[in-house]
Chain A
Amino acid sequence: MKRFAQLLELLALTPSRTRKLAALTQYFREIPDPDRGFALAVLTGALTFRNVKPALLKDIVLREVDPTLFAMSYDYVGDLGETIALIWPHHGQQSDLPSLTDLIELFNMTSKAELPKLIAALLTQAGINERWAVVKLATGALRIGVSARLAKTALADMSGKDLQEIEEVWHGLKVPYLDLFAWLDGKAERPHVDQSARFHPLMLSNPIDEEKDLGRFDPKDFSAEWKWDGIRVQLVLGDGTVSLFSRTGDDIANAFPDIVENAQGVAVLDGELLVGKDFEPGSFNDLQQRLNKKVASAKHLKDSPAFIRVYDILFDGREDVRTLEWTERRRRLEAWLKANPQTRLDISEVLPFADWDDLAAQRRQGADEHGHEGVMIKLRGSPYVPGRPKGYWFKWKRDPNVVDAVLMYAQRGHGKRSSFYSDYTFGVWKGNEIVPIGKAYFGFTDEELKLLDKWIRANTLQAFGPVREVKKELVFEVAFDSAQESTRHKSGVALRFPRISRIRWDKPASEAATLADMAVFVAAS
C-alpha cells in the first residue's frame, strides 16, 4: 500500500504529463500481479465498493471527532476525503498496511456492520500519506489529474505495444487484468474478448489541406456528408443489451434513456449524438445541458429528445465489417436500418457533388444558411481503421469567423508554462465597457509568448491570485467556429473553439469589435 500511496501522491502533485507517465510505467513494471492490476483498476475508475461510501467514512470520523470542529475543518479544506485523512486523531504504531490487493479484498469481504471497525483500525495504523490514499481508495474520488487514457498510455509505454491494441481489448477485460499484463509482458497471447459486445476505438479524420489534397484527389473517389455539431458516439446493440459510448469509451447510456430504450437489433454503429425534435438538431448548448446530467430529467427528455445520426457500421449483426470498403459498409448500414426500424436513429445523408468547387459552394451555403460546421469527405475505398489513419477521412471545416477582441485578463499556464501568462480572457465593446466573450490558450511561438508575458506584467491593473487584470489596450484577432447565445456570460455570447490567431500590436483597442458585431455570428448559427 505504501508504494501505491507514493504513486498517488506523485501523480497528484506532478504537473508534467511526461513525468506522470514515467511514474506509472515504472510502477507497472516493478509491482507484481495482482497489485498492479488493482492499481490500474483504481486509476481507471473500474473499481467501486458496494458498502464503502463517503457517508460511511464521515460517520466513522464523527464518532472520534467533535462534529462542530469537523464541519469547520471540512469548510476550510474543501475536500471530504482529505479532511478525513488530515483530521483522524489516532496514530498507532505505524506499521505497514496490507497490500493493495488485500485491502480491496478486505473492503469487499467485510460485512457492513464490521466495516467501521476495520476502516478505523486502518486509519489509525496508517502514516499520513497512506491514510490519504486509503481514504481516496475508499471514497473512489481520486481527483489526482490522471485519466484512464493516461494509464493505458503508460501500459503501452511499458510494453512497447500499440495503445490502439490495448484499447481494442480493454472493454472486455476483468480486474485485476492478469491476462492483459501477461500479454503486455510477452508471456501470453493477446486476451480474447467478445468482439461484438464492447467498445471499439473510433476512426478519426484529418483536416483537409485545400492546396495540397484537393489538387491530387479525384472527387469521384470520395463521398461527402455534413459535419454534424454534436458528440461522436458508438452505439453497441446486443441481444437485448444496449451500450452507448463516448469517443473515449465512457459509457454514457444512463444520461440518454430515450436512445437506449428505443434502439433495437444487433450491430455496432458509429454516429453523432444530437438533440432536437423530429430529427431537427438543436444547438450544441441544448446537448451540453443533457451531457452535464448523469441522469436525464423528465423535462430534458421532453424538451430536448436525443437521437443519433448514424454514418457507419462496424458490426452488422455479429459480423465484423470493419475491413470492408466504405461503399460496402454504407450499403450494409442502409440495409440494416431498413431491416431494423428505429425511432431514435436516422442516417447521415450523402451529399452529391460534381467537383471540389461544387462541394466548396455547398459547404459555404450550409454554413451561412444552416450553421453547418463543414463537410466530411470519406474515401470510398477506405476500411474502418481505429485511430487517425492518413488518407481516408477528412474534415473540411468552414472558414473560421474572426473578430478583433481586447485582452482583459491573463492567467498563468500549467506545467512548463506555469511561469508564463498564457491563458487569456478577451472581450468586445458594449457601449463604453468591454465585456468578456471567451477564453483561449496561447498557440504561438515561445518568442511571442515572452513578449506577451512581458506586456501583461507591465500593464497589470490588479492581481487576483494567479489571474491578472490588464489595461484594456491590447487587441487579439480571435478565430472561432461559431457563436451562440449564452446566459452564462455577461456578454450573452459564447464562442465555440476560440483560438487566438494573431496579436494585433498595431491596432488600437477603440477599433475592436462591438457586441452588435457579434450578433451577426449568433444569427448565422
Chain B
Amino acid sequence: MATQVLDRNLHIRAIDAYIDPSVPRERAIITHGHADHARSGHGSVLATPDTIAIMKVRYGEDCAGRFEALDFGVPLKIDDVTITFFPAGHVLGSAQVLVESQGQRVVVTGDYKRLPDRTSQPYELVKCDLLVTEATFGLPVFQHPHPKLEIARLLKSVADQPERSHLVGSYALGKAQRVIGLLRDAGWDAPIYLHGAMIRLCELYEELGVPLGDLRPATGTVKAEMAGQIVIAPPSAIRDRWSRRFPDPVVCQASGWMSVKQRARQALVELPLVISDHCDWSELQQTIHETEAKSVWVTHGREDALVYWCRTQGLQAEPLNIQSFEDDGGEGAEE
C-alpha cells in the first residue's frame, strides 16, 4: 500500500521526485543542508527557505538548476501528491517531509531531534502510516545526557584550567551554532573564536535570525591571549597543525559519539562532550510509538538494531540500506 506512494530509494514515483538523493536527479526534495542529504547538481530542489540559503552558501548560488522554497506547514499539491514540510529540530531549516497520496500518509524524517534547540525550529510530531526514520544513534547504548550538563562540564574545565585554551571540535553546520547557543544560554558572554570553516555559516545563521553573540576569527590571534578562551573548529582541525597556534589546547569534541570513552581516547579527545543533534535510542522508540505508524523503514545509521526492536513491538520494519557517504573521518556523517 504505502509502497505505492514511495519506493525504497525514497522515490515518489507519481511525481518523479527523490528525497535526499545521493546522485544528481531532475527533481529533488531536500530535508536539510548536511552533505549526506544535500548535494549539488540537481535539476530542481524543493526545500525550506533556510535549507536553500544553506545550500547556496555551501555549494554556490547555482548548485541546482532551480530552487523552490516551501515554508513549514504549507501543503504543496503536485498532481495527486501533497508535500508538506514539518520542522525536524536537527539544524536550522531541517524538515520532515510528509507525503500524502491515495489516502496514505508517509513521513520521511530526515535527521531529527526532539530536544528544544534555539538554533533550529522545534520538532513537531507528525502522525503517519509509514515512517521512514533515521537511526544514527540506533543502539541502546546511546542515551544522551542533557546538553546543559555537558556545557557545564566544558565551562568548569575552562575555569579550572585558565592557562589553556579549549578547542571544541564541532561540525560547521548545526553543531557549531548549537554549541555557541548553549554557551550563550549558560552565560558565557565572552568572545567565541572560530576556525575559518565556521565563519560563513555562523554569519548566515545570524542573517536568518539566530543571534550568536560576539564571534571572532581564530586566525591572527596572539597565542598568549588565547589562554582561557573557547575556540570552535571542525573535528579534523583540532588535532592537526592548526591547533598548534593555541596555548596547550584542551582537545574537546561535541558529538553523540563521544559517549563511548574508549572511542574518545582513541581519537585523543581529552574532554568529550556528548552533545548530539539526533535522537538517542529512547527518543527513537518514543517517536515510532507516537507517530502511530504501522510500518517503519530505517535508514542512515544502525538500521539493524532499530528494525529488530520495531519487530519485537509488532510493527512491520525494514532497513533501507541507502548508501551514505561518510563525511569527516569515519565515525558517522555530520551530526
- Contact assessment for A419 and B260 in the assembled complex, using a CB-CB cutoff below 8 Å: no
Question: Which of B45-53, B85-93, B180-188, B305-313 contacts its partner?
Answer: B305-313
Q: A14 at interface (Cβ–Cβ under 8 A)?
A: yes
**Which among B241, B243, B312 has the greatest number of chain A C-beta atoms within 10 A?**
B241
B-chain residues with CB within 8 Å of residue A83 when the two chains form the complex: 141
Q: Which of A69, A145, A453, A465 contacts B139, CB < 8 Å?
A: A69
- Contact assessment for A72 and B309 in the assembled complex, using a CB-CB cutoff below 8 Å: no
Q: A394 at interface (Cβ–Cβ under 8 A)?
A: no
Task: State the CA gap A416–B121 with chains docked (Å).
Answer: 41
Contact with B along A12-43 (1 / 0, CB 8 A): 11110000000000000000000000000000
**Which among A78, A412, A419 has the greatest number of chain B C-beta atoms within 10 A?**
A419
Complex interface residues of chain B between 237 and 256 (CB less than 8 A to chain A): 239-241, 243-244, 251
Q: B145 at interface (Cβ–Cβ under 8 A)?
A: yes
Complex interface residues of chain B between 126 and 164 (CB less than 8 A to chain A): 139-143, 145
- Contact assessment for B270 and A13 in the assembled complex, using a CB-CB cutoff below 8 Å: yes
Q: B262 at interface (Cβ–Cβ under 8 A)?
A: yes
- Contact assessment for A86 and B270 in the assembled complex, using a CB-CB cutoff below 8 Å: no
Q: B330 at interface (Cβ–Cβ under 8 A)?
A: yes
- Contact assessment for A419 and B240 in the assembled complex, using a CB-CB cutoff below 8 Å: yes
Nearest-neighbour CB distance to chain B for A143, whole angstroms, equals 7
- Contact assessment for B272 and A82 in the assembled complex, using a CB-CB cutoff below 8 Å: no
Task: State the CA gap A453–B244 with chains docked (Å).
Answer: 13
A-chain residues with CB within 8 Å of residue B66 when the two chains form the complex: none
Q: B268 at interface (Cβ–Cβ under 8 A)?
A: yes
Q: B265 at interface (Cβ–Cβ under 8 A)?
A: yes
- Contact assessment for A13 and B262 in the assembled complex, using a CB-CB cutoff below 8 Å: no
Task: State the CA gap A89–B244 with chains docked (Å).
Answer: 41
A-chain residues with CB within 8 Å of residue B259 when the two chains form the complex: 86, 128
Task: State the CA gap A453–B261 with chains docked (Å).
Answer: 29
Task: State the CA gap A276–B153 with chains docked (Å).
Answer: 56
Task: State the CA gap A132–B260 with chains docked (Å).
Answer: 10
**Which among B141, B239, B262, B265 has the greatest number of chain A C-beta atoms within 10 A?**
B141
B-chain residues with CB within 8 Å of residue A77 when the two chains form the complex: 141, 260, 262
Task: State the CA gap A69–B141 with chains docked (Å).
Answer: 9
- Contact assessment for A15 and B243 in the assembled complex, using a CB-CB cutoff below 8 Å: no
Q: B329 at interface (Cβ–Cβ under 8 A)?
A: yes
- Contact assessment for A9 and B261 in the assembled complex, using a CB-CB cutoff below 8 Å: yes
Closest A residue to B145 using CB positions = A128
Nearest-neighbour CB distance to chain B for A96, whole angstroms, equals 17
**Which among A12, A76, A78 has the greatest number of chain B C-beta atoms within 10 A?**
A76
Task: State the CA gap A72–B301 with chains docked (Å).
Answer: 13
Closest B residue to A72 using CB positions = B305
Q: B10 at interface (Cβ–Cβ under 8 A)?
A: no
Task: State the CA gap A163–B330 with chains docked (Å).
Answer: 43
- Contact assessment for A87 and B140 in the assembled complex, using a CB-CB cutoff below 8 Å: yes
- Contact assessment for A15 and B270 in the assembled complex, using a CB-CB cutoff below 8 Å: yes
Nearest-neighbour CB distance to chain B for A109, whole angstroms, equals 30
- A-B interface pairs (CB < 8 A), number: 71
B-chain residues with CB within 8 Å of residue A82 when the two chains form the complex: 260-262
Task: State the CA gap A12–B261 with chains docked (Å).
Answer: 8
Task: Count residues of chain A with CB under 8 A from any CB of chain B.
Answer: 31
Task: State the CA gap A336–B259 with chains docked (Å).
Answer: 59
Q: B264 at interface (Cβ–Cβ under 8 A)?
A: yes
Nearest-neighbour CB distance to chain B for A338, whole angstroms, equals 54
B-chain residues with CB within 8 Å of residue A412 when the two chains form the complex: 239
- Contact assessment for A13 and B272 in the assembled complex, using a CB-CB cutoff below 8 Å: yes
Nearest-neighbour CB distance to chain B for A447, whole angstroms, equals 14
If A76-B139, A465-B330 touch, whether A66 touches B262 (CB-CB below 8 Å) is: no
Closest B residue to A76 using CB positions = B139
- Contact assessment for B330 and A13 in the assembled complex, using a CB-CB cutoff below 8 Å: no
If A73-B140, A419-B243 touch, whether A86 touches B260 (CB-CB below 8 Å) is: yes
Q: A418 at interface (Cβ–Cβ under 8 A)?
A: yes
A-chain residues with CB within 8 Å of residue B275 when the two chains form the complex: none
Task: State the CA gap A70–B305 with chains docked (Å).
Answer: 10
Q: A79 at interface (Cβ–Cβ under 8 A)?
A: yes
Complex interface residues of chain B between 280 and 322 (CB less than 8 A to chain A): 302, 304-305, 308-309, 312
Task: State the CA gap A145–B266 with chains docked (Å).
Answer: 12
Closest B residue to A457 using CB positions = B241
Q: A331 at interface (Cβ–Cβ under 8 A)?
A: no
Closest B residue to A128 using CB positions = B145
- Contact assessment for B309 and A69 in the assembled complex, using a CB-CB cutoff below 8 Å: yes
Contact with B along A472-492 (1 / 0, CB 8 A): 000000000000000000000
A-chain residues with CB within 8 Å of residue B198 when the two chains form the complex: none
Q: Which of B139, B251, B265 contacts A73, CB < 8 Å?
A: B139
- Contact assessment for A419 and B239 in the assembled complex, using a CB-CB cutoff below 8 Å: yes
Q: B29 at interface (Cβ–Cβ under 8 A)?
A: no
Nearest-neighbour CB distance to chain A for B18, whole angstroms, equals 30
Nearest-neighbour CB distance to chain B for A64, whole angstroms, equals 10
Closest B residue to A16 using CB positions = B270
A-chain residues with CB within 8 Å of residue B329 when the two chains form the complex: 465
Closest B residue to A9 using CB positions = B261
Q: A414 at interface (Cβ–Cβ under 8 A)?
A: yes
Closest A residue to B264 using CB positions = A13
Q: B271 at interface (Cβ–Cβ under 8 A)?
A: yes
A-chain residues with CB within 8 Å of residue B269 when the two chains form the complex: 13
Task: State the CA gap A143–B251 with chains docked (Å).
Answer: 20
Task: State the CA gap A434–B208 with chains docked (Å).
Answer: 55
Nearest-neighbour CB distance to chain A for B233, whole angstroms, equals 13
Q: A361 at interface (Cβ–Cβ under 8 A)?
A: no
- Contact assessment for B268 and A418 in the assembled complex, using a CB-CB cutoff below 8 Å: yes
If A72-B302, A76-B302, A83-B141 touch, whether A419 touches B262 (CB-CB below 8 Å) is: no
In the complex, 23 of the A-B residue pairs with CB atoms within 8 angstroms, ordered by the A residue number, are A13-B261, A13-B265, A13-B269, A13-B270, A13-B271, A15-B270, A66-B309, A66-B312, A76-B302, A77-B262, A78-B262, A82-B260, A83-B141, A86-B142, A128-B145, A128-B259, A132-B261, A412-B239, A418-B239, A419-B239, A419-B240, A453-B241, A465-B330
6 tightest A-B CB contacts, nearest first: A86-B141, A73-B141, A72-B305, A87-B141, A73-B139, A87-B140
> Which residue numbers of A lie inside 8 Å of B, CB to CB?
9, 12-15, 65-66, 68-70, 72-73, 76-79, 82-83, 86-87, 89, 128, 132, 143, 145, 412, 414, 418-419, 453, 465
> Which residue numbers of B lie inside 8 Å of A, CB to CB?
139-143, 145, 239-241, 243-244, 251, 259-262, 264-265, 268-272, 302, 304-305, 308-309, 312, 329-330
Further 14 A-B residue pairs, CB within 8 A, beyond A76-B139, A465-B330: A12-B261, A13-B261, A13-B265, A66-B312, A69-B308, A76-B302, A78-B262, A87-B141, A128-B143, A128-B145, A145-B265, A418-B239, A419-B241, A465-B329
